[in-house]
Amino acid sequence: MARKSGSHGEITGPRILAAAERLIARKGFAAVTMREIAREVGVQAGALYLYIPDKQTLLFDLMRRHMEELLAAWEAEPKGETPLEQLEAFARFHIRFHLARPDATFISYMELRNLEPENFARIEALRKRYEDILEGILKEGSAAGVFRVPDTKLATMALIAMLTGVNTWYREGGRLSRERVERIYWNMVRRAVKG
């Protein structure tokens, strides 16, 4: 029997990615088995291979999707005119986007070393494109005398680390609203680079 109940064609493919994302974020890629993922989807382990070639590709697909959605979401974002407005847009966008996808964010920062070299290079390339966005804003603002940053690359890494750090402690329904967190972080970012 193919399944206990329900009909075929009930989109199993996407459910695999969703289940894998949840499990890998919680336990780590190496600690999650294909059988666990299958159980979460409600299917036997062998059935996973109708949708993915192997476990490594599953991880790569999750990370690539996350990075591509990140870049696409920024493209669709209202940018602002001045470097200061752009920096605020970026800071708020970064917090908002990553807080909305805690699992994917966690995986993309923690599981890099479980990617095979070629896959690693491709994810790193996407990440660099994202970092270049922030560095571009900082460079422009530096040239205009609005920002004072001795090293734009270093400032880029510092600000992204700080902003991504929100994910490690923020909890929905906690003491602070997302809007309030955004404002406080934006204030720290602004003051950290203000000329």
Partner DNA sequence: TCTTGATATGAACGAATGTTCAGTTAAACC
Partner DNA sequence: GGTTTAACTGAACATTCGTTCATATCAAGA
Instruction: Please identify which residue in 4, 8, 113, 171 interacts with its own copies, judged by CB under 8 A.
Output: 113
In the set 28, 42, 80, 102, which binds its own copies (CB under 8 A)? 28
| CB-nearer residue toward its own copies: 43 or 104 | 104
Q: Across-strand partners of 147?
A: 194
Q: Can residue 157 be called a binding residue for DNA (CB under 7 A)?
A: no
Among 3, 13, 14, 30, the residue binding its own copies under the rule CB under 8 A is 30
Q: Could you tell me where the DSSP H helices lie in 101-164?
A: 102-110, 117-143, 152-164
Minimum Å distance from CB 16 to DNA? 9
Q: Is 138 buried (19+), middle (13-18) or exposed (0-12) by CB count in 10 A?
A: buried
Site string for DNA, 5-44 (x = CB under 7 A): --xxxx-x-------------------xxxxx-x---xxx
How far from 81 is each of 86, 91, 188, CA to CA, in Å? 7, 15, 21
- Considering beta carbons, is residue 17 or 155 the nearer one to its own copies? 155
**Ranges within 42-61 binding DNA (CB under 7 A):** 42-50, 54-56
**Residue number, 46 or 165, with CB nearest to DNA:** 46
Q: Say whether residue 102 binds its own copies (CB under 8 A).
A: no
**By CB under 8 A, is residue 26 in contact with its own copies?**
yes
* DSSP state, residue 77: S
Rounded CA gap, 123 and 93, in Å?
20
Between CA 160 and CA 141 the distance in angstroms is 17
CB of 86 to its own copies, least distance (A): 19
125, interface contact from its own copies, DNA, none, CB < 5-8 Å by kind = none
Report the C-alpha gap between 104 and 139 in whole angstroms.
Answer: 29
Query: Cα(180)–Cα(166) distance, rounded to whole angstroms?
Result: 12
Contact criterion met (CB below 8 Å) for 164 and 93: no
| 31 lies in the site for its own copies, by CB under 8 A | yes
Calculate the alpha carbon distances from 137 to 12, 72, 73, 179 in Å. Answer: 42, 18, 17, 23
Query: Contact positions toward its own copies, by CB under 8 A?
Result: 26-31, 110, 113-114, 150-151, 154-155, 157-162, 164-166, 168-169, 176, 181, 184-185, 187-189, 191-194
